[in-house]
Structure 1
Amino acid sequence: MTAAPKHIELIARALIVRDRRVLTCREIGQHHCSLPGGHIDPGEAAATALSRELAEEAGLGDAHVGACLLVQEHRFDQRGKPKHELNMVFHVEPPERLGPGCPPIAALEPKLSFAWVAISDLGDANLLPAEYAGWLASGVDLDKTCWQSSPAPR
């Protein structure tokens, strides 16, 4: 059995959907993607953390952070070390200045890239946590918060 992680990471993530496509974030050189967002600092509200991360990483600090749609517990091994995350996924409306459709989003951090991925292709894009793809494919209820938990790695 894998050793227990030393702490639980709190992460705020953005669900930005346009034309049945989801904005995803990928660290250069990695074979998986995630929803945009990042760590919540001590004393920081989750929605505030998400606005800060969107501004720092994608220049989208003026996006509207709405309701929390999903709290997802994710336990996994990363480079041989146990990790434990609580991801809070918020509905986010992109700023009007982006215009219609799915315009390219330029990463402000050189280690990142952003892409719009069709909901039906999220599994092939290796969106992590993997449970997100099924949750999104089933249709997200914007008026309801959900909970998911992945099994602990063995």
Structure 2
Amino acid sequence: MHATTEAVPLAEGYTPVFVRGSSYREHLVELYVSGHDEERSPRRRAETLPPKRWSLDDDERLLLVVLGQRYLLYEEGPRPLSYRQAAEQLVYLRPGADWRERRIENRIEAVRRRLHAGGFPYPLTHDRRAGGPSDNLLHNLLRGLVDSTTLVPPDLDLLEDDDG
């Protein structure tokens, strides 16, 4: 995107790119990379289809931004914060709220079940044949929410201390 940076190969499919503008503005540029088996000519008249964005309430959004901040910072190989780390940060951000590890776990479980029932594109439930829960379920949830632009980098503003 800039002459002084190296090229970054993009996978086939939809990729959101956030570009910082003036006055703290951030612009979303949506790219679609077609594969070798698709038409080579540009599809100028093709309709742009926005990704499916998933509904989250304010507490869910805050919780998922805290857990998934590394994804929103586009770190290489991001992993979610632990429930303990999230609880510590949430107590700091919202001192009056009841953010314990168990409550966080229950809220995430409820979100996973709801989005799974709604057709979420990544696996969000345990495969009972595999012998128990997968550590990747929270990763799948966060990856899917970022890929769908349900969670976007400007959501990181929720991590700012309101009293500061």
Q: With structure 2 as the length reference, what TM-score do the two structures score?
A: 0.23
Q: With structure 1 as the length reference, what TM-score do the two structures score?
A: 0.24
> Which structure: larger Rg?
2
- Structure with the larger RCO, 1 or 2 (CA within 8 Å, 6+ apart): 1
**Which protein is richer in helix relative to its size?**
2
